[in-house]
Structure 1
């Protein structure tokens, strides 16, 4: 692979600095976004593209054109061998994929892989490596999970490029599975849950997009089944007033919003919105009942009309 031109790297750094200033964002966060974008471009151009599906907070840029909230990691669903050494070799091979000069050089020689154990979000492999953009050193963490169900099937999406380089086109999670996995984590963790980002993400998605109830319910069913967890019919602790009114949870929520400079209501109305959105299809799945409803941005659930599309992608333009 040809080394990046120092002139290209310097030009990219300056343009990213200008973007950070215009958007009032931390420069290091913008650098991280750019490095993740260029890694995904290499993945899309590599022979390993079919082994992975993009998931996680990076998808909000695809769905809304906006970063949504701060994330420093890249989340992927992997297919095939989950051995750490084999996956590390594969990721290093992706980093070495020849691409037009974008100023980024990945230090695959210093990369490491470790198993993500129970107690984390999911079991999988965590790859840590470093990227160089001229004199700038940018850490990159890639978390790869295995075995999760994706409903509906992954489709190709294009990640907008920060600059004028070619954009990555990769397979990605649908919103329904993203919500299903976050809801399953909420139910599993209960009052011990400190993952306020999940509450924020589901609240945001429910306010922004249309959802087909049948598709969302099927995503719930398949995710809980794959993770070997019973689907509750009673209101889960994670969606209860006991959670939303808990003092410690409210402090965690306020700290999460402040750290990310995010605008959202207090925790109690957010959880109430999640109950209105997620509990009806969840309860239907738990009772083995169909859920043929439609959710428009902000809700509530309504019966489908003859002129309402049941597009399972949740396209809010329909």
Structure 2
């Protein structure tokens, strides 16, 4: 394809993204960011590395077509591959260079930078940053990869939704049950030090908008805690009134909602924590007691027995 043709594609795509931003009342830069992440996922799906990476994190809220979700600027994966920085950078490089039908985007493999990330005392991953461009618009790309986690009941094969009319990425992804389990495990482990306010929003949103099978969620919680070496706690600090009423925590919640332009969530962190407790505590109690949990959650709850 000629350079002129590539430029024409980029100009057309940019114009369509600007129209989309106006129609959806979102900033153009946000739409551009999501488009770049979507097309990176498509390159992954067309590459030899598709089976090595399982999509997780904030993009899953869009993948599940949650009616309302939070903006995100990075792509999170569970990686089934060597966890050294050089290996991860090489995989990302090859995905950036994967040949696909032109979509106007250029992923600059020469700008790749990788480093170890360690967000808590026990688990580390690899972060890769690089640049992408659409015409003269620059996009900062960030890929975070974690290792060694389990997905219950299993990895899900899914089609990721597209912004325009390009071929959609088809890739492996997390289950909602394991998403909840990992975020709850972080709440238990981090306690009062927890600053991952987005996890509170994500669990609140998932419980509000999706149904859950109780035993499947309990299995995900049990296996996630066991795999990460965390003891189950049915009264975690992060769900206590003392935590939610802490001025600093409430300020973090308010700031998160404002920055993410979330106007549909409760203003009170206490209300959010109460909703999460209603959802997750019965599951935690069953897991701790090693008892079955065959209840059903029909959003937005509460739990009901199978006979109800």
Corresponding residue to 1:276 among 275, 278, 298: 278
Segments of 4+ moved more than 4 angstroms: 1-4
Q: Which residue of 2 aligns with 1:245?
A: 245
* TM superposition shift of 1:152: 1.1
Question: Residue 116 of structure 1: SS of its match in structure 2?
Answer: strand
Q: Which residue of 1 aligns with 2:261?
A: 261
* TM superposition shift of 1:10: 0.9
1:238-291: CA deviation from partner (whole Å, max 9, x where unpaired): 111111222221111111111112121111111111111001111211121211
| Count of residue pairs brought into register by the alignment | 305
Q: Which residue of 2 aligns with 1:285?
A: 287
* TM superposition shift of 1:123: 1.4
Provide the C-alpha distance between the structure 1 equivalents of 2:68 and 2:298, rounded to a whole number of angstroms.
23
Q: Which residue of 2 aligns with 1:303?
A: 305
Provide the C-alpha distance between the structure 1 equivalents of 2:240 and 2:188, rounded to a whole number of angstroms.
11
Q: Comparing 137-146 with 4-13, which one deviates more in the overlay?
A: 4-13
- Within the alignment, does 1:23 sit opposite 2:24 as a pair? yes
Question: Residue 5 of structure 1: SS of its match in structure 2?
Answer: helix
RMSD across aligned positions (CA): 1.7
1:1-318 correspondence runs (5 A): 5-64=6-65, 66=67, 68-119=69-120, 122-233=123-234, 235-262=235-262, 263-265=264-266, 266-305=268-307
Question: Residue 64 of structure 1: SS of its match in structure 2?
Answer: coil
* TM superposition shift of 1:119: 2.5
Provide the C-alpha distance between the structure 2 equivalents of 1:17 and 1:152, rounded to a whole number of angstroms.
40
Structure 1 pair 274–65 and aligned structure 2 pair: CA distance change class (3 A): closer
Question: Residue 70 of structure 1: SS of its match in structure 2?
Answer: coil
Structure 1 pair 134–16 and aligned structure 2 pair: CA distance change class (3 A): same
The answer as to whether partners of 2:78 and 2:146 remain within 8 angstroms in 1 is yes
Structure 1 pair 120–228 and aligned structure 2 pair: CA distance change class (3 A): closer
Structure 1 pair 2–118 and aligned structure 2 pair: CA distance change class (3 A): farther
Provide the C-alpha distance between the structure 2 equivalents of 1:67 and 1:163, rounded to a whole number of angstroms.
19
* TM superposition shift of 1:99: 0.5
Provide the C-alpha distance between the structure 2 equivalents of 1:92 and 1:251, rounded to a whole number of angstroms.
39
Question: Residue 31 of structure 2: SS of its match in structure 1?
Answer: helix
1:117-159: CA deviation from partner (whole Å, max 9, x where unpaired): 2428941100111111111111100001000010010111111
1:16-46: CA deviation from partner (whole Å, max 9, x where unpaired): 1111122221111111100000000000011
Provide the C-alpha distance between the structure 2 equivalents of 1:39 and 1:206, rounded to a whole number of angstroms.
29
Provide the C-alpha distance between the structure 1 equivalents of 2:156 and 2:202, rounded to a whole number of angstroms.
21
Structure 1 pair 229–241 and aligned structure 2 pair: CA distance change class (3 A): same
Instruction: Please list every run of 5 or more consecutive structure 1 residues that lacks an aligned counterpart in the other structure.
Output: 307-318
Provide the C-alpha distance between the structure 2 equivalents of 1:138 and 1:303, rounded to a whole number of angstroms.
48
Structure 1 pair 160–65 and aligned structure 2 pair: CA distance change class (3 A): farther
